[in-house]
Amino acid sequence: MRYSVKAILLTMAGVIVIILPACGGGGHTGTKAYRVRADAYIKRDTLGFVIDTTRIPETPSLPAAIASAADGDTLVLDAGLYFSQPKPFVDPLCGNCTDQKTPVAASTGFVIPGKSLVIIGAGRDSTALVTRAGYGLYIENSPDVHLIGLAVTGGVRDTSGNATDAAVVVRGSRVSID
């Protein structure tokens, strides 16, 4: 679903969230907001432990939403789990090598290439990106990315010990994580 916005009011977990076209002072100029459904929802017991996850068939994927979003758009994520489909990647720069220009085989989960985005989850305990990759959320050449109210988890160590694996890998970008 796509929204044209000057401002959007949403209720998330009992909190009203206002999404404005500009976020912070960093040149973010987006005018569109997209709502993204989760791949699975989490059910917790009274102590907060996960007791069940319910898969949702045929939902639009977060990678598709990132790819179709224009520079400066906002993605509003429902509470739930978002699973990446890891892809092989050759990193031309090695952070763990004597020669930085050594290519390294790695994997990426979610990728934000060359655009400003705001991604808003329903809270770190409610919205999780499950990356299943060494470079879990890879942000490259993106001037202004804001990640708000979500967890990045479920990374898998790449087979090359030289890969600079992390939940969030940022290169040539400005990113804020709240």
Mean pLDDT of the chain: 78
- What token pair was written down for 5? 């916005």
Mean pLDDT of 32-54: 62
- CA 58, CA 38: separation in Å to the nearest integer? 10
- Whether residue 8 is predicted with pLDDT greater than 60 in this model: the reply is no
Number of domains forming the structure of the chain: 1
Alpha-carbon dihedral sign for residues 58, 63, 68, 69: positive
Looking at residue 147, what is its pLDDT?
97
Q: What is the pLDDT of residue 45?
A: 63
62-119 pLDDT, tens digit each: 998 898 888 998 888 888 889 999 999 999 999 889 999 999 999 999 999 999 999 9
Residue-range definition of the domain harbouring residue 32: 2-177
